[in-house]
Amino acid sequence: TISEFLQRVHGRIGSTQFRGRSVPGWYLQQFVKIGVALKVPDLSKHYLIWDSDMLMTKEYKMFTEDGRVRQHSGGFFIRQYASFYRLTGQTVLHSHDWSSFVVHHAVVYKPYMLELIKALSKPNPSATWAGPASGSLVNTTTAGPNAFVWRILENIASSDISIGFSEYTSYASWVLHHHPETVYVEKNKLWSRYPPLRMMPKPWSEDCCPTREQVD
């Protein structure tokens, strides 16, 4: 299990709860979003990942008129997501304003996700990493299609187990490195993790959703 592997590699699992979530569960939901490209045979070439705690308040357009994927930004910069470099030898990329691509949704092109999975599944000799995962514990010839799961878990920093990897950062960085012509990075911030204070209900616990007046 994820908990057992974290304990074996890093000597601990991290906080049982971190920011209201289970650490092993947080990694598991990321692996599901990545692995769906391998596991769902009839999945369309383009598909939308949408976190369940996100609300769509405006019309959402996935593509530009010339067919490029619209990449939103505005997420927090999290230095721990540099595990992408340890896994691939490539830098984490950010938006023009240095916000991240962790916007809790993504339009994925299945062939590019499969490329990323392949890269995540094999040891990268060019990436210097002095953590406990040096000399990979994962035998990628026998770990099968789930090798990417264990490679990710062994390459997170032992000091940052609770927040050591991002599927959104990794996929966006991979595509922008290898297929930049297929993506349009929005110049304006069209996404927000939290609504402006003026939109928050008072008291905060009374309403779950924005009203029509707040959205308009």
For the chain, strand residue ranges (E) read 17-18, 21-22, 46-50, 69-71, 105-109, 183-185
Based on the number of CB atoms within 10 Å of its own CB, is 209 exposed (0-12), middle (13-18) or buried (19 or more)?
exposed
pLDDT tens for the chain, 216 residues long, are 888 888 888 887 766 666 667 888 899 999 999 999 999 989 999 999 999 888 887 788 999 999 999 999 988 778 778 889 889 999 999 988 888 999 999 999 999 999 999 999 987 554 444 344 445 565 655 567 788 999 999 888 888 888 889 999 999 999 999 999 999 999 877 777 665 545 455 554 455 566 666 566
**Contact of 127 with 92, CB cutoff 8 Å:** no
Structure tokens at 120: 């995540």
So what's the pLDDT on residue 32? Answer: 95
In the chain, the amino acid numbered 128 is T
From the list 13, 11, 102, the residue with the least C-alpha distance to 51 is: 102
pTM: 0.82
So what's the pLDDT on residue 131? Answer: 42
